[in-house]
Structure 1
Amino acid sequence: MKKLLAYFKFNKTEQNGFFIILMIIVLFVTIYSLLKRSAEDPIPNQAKVFEQSFNDSLEISGSANKQEMNISYSTTSSKNENKALVSRSPVLEESKLFYFDPNNLPHADWHKLGLSDKQITVLKNYESKGGRFRKKTDLMKIYSINDRLYKRLEPYIQIKTSPDSEITKQQNRTSLLYDKFERNKAELIDINTCDTTALKSLKGIGSVLSKRILKYKDVLGGFYRIEQLKEVYGVTAETYDLIKDYIVVSSLDGIKKININKVDAISLAKHPYLSPKDAKLIVNYRDQHGSYVNIEDLTKIGTLSDLAIAKIAPYLIFENDSR
């Protein structure tokens, strides 16, 4: 124990040094604590100031809100009173409702129907720009006429037939008569004797198609049925439907006939209804079995279809045939 205490015994010089070090430590601790406090204090103080200012602002805004609420309440109540007056006014005006035509209705009559000057001004501006009410719902296009007002007026709206519509009807009747006249003219067109000008008067037939029709007529030797126009390239089913009532084959006298007993295979093959193979078969059979007497002799060939024979028949002539 004595040896342990011996370690804590200081001489004079050591004691002085110890006290100096102790004083320095105490001084540093004091300064540190002061600095720390001075560094921490502004935050709470600022927080308290901010909190106080925030509370003050809440109190101010609260009082302002209360004033605004009072004002808005008073304004709302006044508006409600006005609305009540407005809503009551149409009830008074309903007794003045009458049947009317909104077109060129006098200002005073609109007033009697319960419209304000502003609403009437909008209506008159619409009319001054050429606007016209042709049906009841046209009145809803006016922005000053709301749904409620329209529903109140709608049962009393009676729009008279305008003179313009009568003119339009007359124009339509004139147009129909003109079209009928044009159709009657078109009905006289004979596709075997007409020219391109006559064909172009038909709906759907232009310059190119009219020339193509005449060229096909020359290759055929003439049309014997109007349905043959469907075989012309460019004459669609729709085009044919447009013109079929205005074309006619008035006579078959102009159709060019082929003497089946004298024609050669090359010339016969030029006809659209016969292929080179068919033409060669017809000529070969004739050379082997002699001249054809009538159209039924073509059925003896066996390779020609009945449809091909029926189509070519109007263009053939036989030596013993009276045609």
Structure 2
Amino acid sequence: MKRLLTYFKFNKTEQNGFFVILVIIIVFSIIYSLVSREDKSDPIAHQARVFEQSFHDSTDAADYPNKKFNVADVHLEKRGARSDPDPSTDNNVVDTKLFYFDPNNLSVEAWRELGLSDKQIAVIKNYEKKGGRFKDKNDVRKIYSINAKLYKKLEPYIAIKAETAGPSTATKAPLLYDKFETNHAELIDLNTCDTIALMSLKGIGTILSKRILKYKEVLGGFYRIEQLKEVYGVTPETYDLIKDYIMVSNLEGIKKININHIDANSLGKHPYLSPKDAKLIVNYRDQHGNYANIEDFTKIGTLSDLAIAKIAPYLIFENDSR
């Protein structure tokens, strides 16, 4: 036992060294425990605070509270916002409301409804301010503030109005009918006009103008402008367009039919009488003598009052001064 204890005996120098080492160990132990407590104290609460701060940072990136976020999208957007100052990445400022639109001179409010931020809209308005125009959809895609993803969303709703080609109304040559729109005094007389004058009216072309003149010859002349409706091809819409620019003034030029001398075949060629009506009129004349006036037509009994009224301006009777 004594022999064993001899191994644990220290001389004065060894004792001093042992105490120095012991003090150093104690000091380092205290320092290590303090550092460890500061870094690792309550690790669960620390992680909770980190997650909470990250969540609030993500939701603060949006200005409207009702939008639903995908966590991955939020972090991607935040990372993009830090690394890419391009305004094309700022697409989540307002609620998106898609509708058909013409990008030319579109209001700021409308652009916001489509999902664009103020920075993106400023780029577009600056483009318009410099005289830029969107002629087709590809012009929208060329705006640097609109990225491919945003353009793909907007592209189906872009509806650009076609611009009218040709010279402006201020410099174009006036149409022939313009003078009739501005000066109603220069009316066209249906009984004296030619095809060129008729073609100056809206809705009247080469064929229809010739058809009108042909009908005038068959009638013997017009005595009312409403007779123009009887011409094949003159629709109610066409008549409404030209009625204020035509007139009938030369009634003396109307060709008259001497009802007491004409035969049934010639009389039946008039548009207002059928061959059957013409034969009845001539037969009645042969049986009862010459007609004295238009009232004698009512004695025939087969002609309607309308037919008699229509044919009357084209008839002349014996002893009639017309």
When the two structures are superposed, what TM-score results if normalisation uses the length of structure 2? 0.52
**C-alpha spacing 1:75/1:319, structure 2 compared with 1 (3 Å):** farther
Identify the residue that residue 167 of structure 1 maps to in structure 2: none
**What is the aligned counterpart of 2:54 among 79, 102, 111?**
79
**Is 2:218 the counterpart of 1:250?**
no
C-alpha deviation, 1:252, in angstroms? 0.6
8 Å contact from structure 1 (residues 203, 243) kept in 2 = yes
Map of 1:237 onto structure 2: 236
Preserved contact between residue 292 and residue 317 of structure 2 (Cα < 8 Å) = yes
Asked if the contact 1:184/1:246 (under 8 Å) is kept, the reply is no
- Matched AA of 2:295: E
Q: Give the letter for the 1:183 counterpart.
A: E
Which has the larger share of helix?
1
Task: Give the CA RMSD over aligned residues.
Answer: 4.2
Find the counterpart in structure 2 of residue 145 from structure 1. 117
Letter in 2 for 1:198: A
One-letter code of the match for 2:244?
D
CA contact (8 A) 2:192 2:250 kept: no
Cα distance in structure 1, aligned partners of 2:234 and 2:227: 10
Residue 294 of structure 1: how far off its partner (Å): 1.0
Q: Tell me which residue corresponds to 1:273.
A: 272
Q: Kindly tell me: are residues 121 and 132 of structure 1, through their superposed partners in 2, closer, same or farther at Cα, counting changes over 3 Å?
A: farther
CA contact (8 A) 2:90 2:117 kept: no
Equivalent residue for 1:65?
A: none
Query: Could you say if the C-alpha distance between residues 226 and 76 of structure 1 is closer, same or farther in structure 2, counting changes exceeding 3 Å?
Result: farther
Percent sequence identity over matched residues? 62
Say which one has the larger Rg: 1
Q: Distance in 2 between matches of 1:220 and 1:298?
A: 19
What is the TM-score normalised by the length of structure 1?
Answer: 0.52
**2:285 is matched by which residue type in structure 1?**
R
**Equivalent residues in 2 for 1:76-155, closer than 5 Å:** 77-83=52-58, 86=61, 118-119=86-87, 133-140=105-112, 144-145=116-117
Alpha-carbon spacing, 1:76–1:320, altered in 2? closer, same or farther (3 Å): farther
Tell me if the contact between 1:258 and 1:317 (Cα under 8 Å) persists in the aligned partners: yes
Shift, 1:74, TM fit: 8.0
Matched, 1:303 2:292: no
Q: Who is 1:262 aligned against?
A: 261
Alignment coverage as a number of residue pairs: 203
1:200 and 1:73 map into 2 onto residues whose CA distance is 87
Q: Which residue of 2 aligns with 1:198?
A: 197
Structure 1: runs of 5+ lacking an equivalent: 1-69, 89-115, 124-130, 151-162, 164-170
Task: Pick closer, same or farther for the CA change 1:213–1:74 going to 2, 3 Å.
Answer: farther
SS of equivalent to 2:253: coil
The amino acid of 2:293's aligned partner reads N
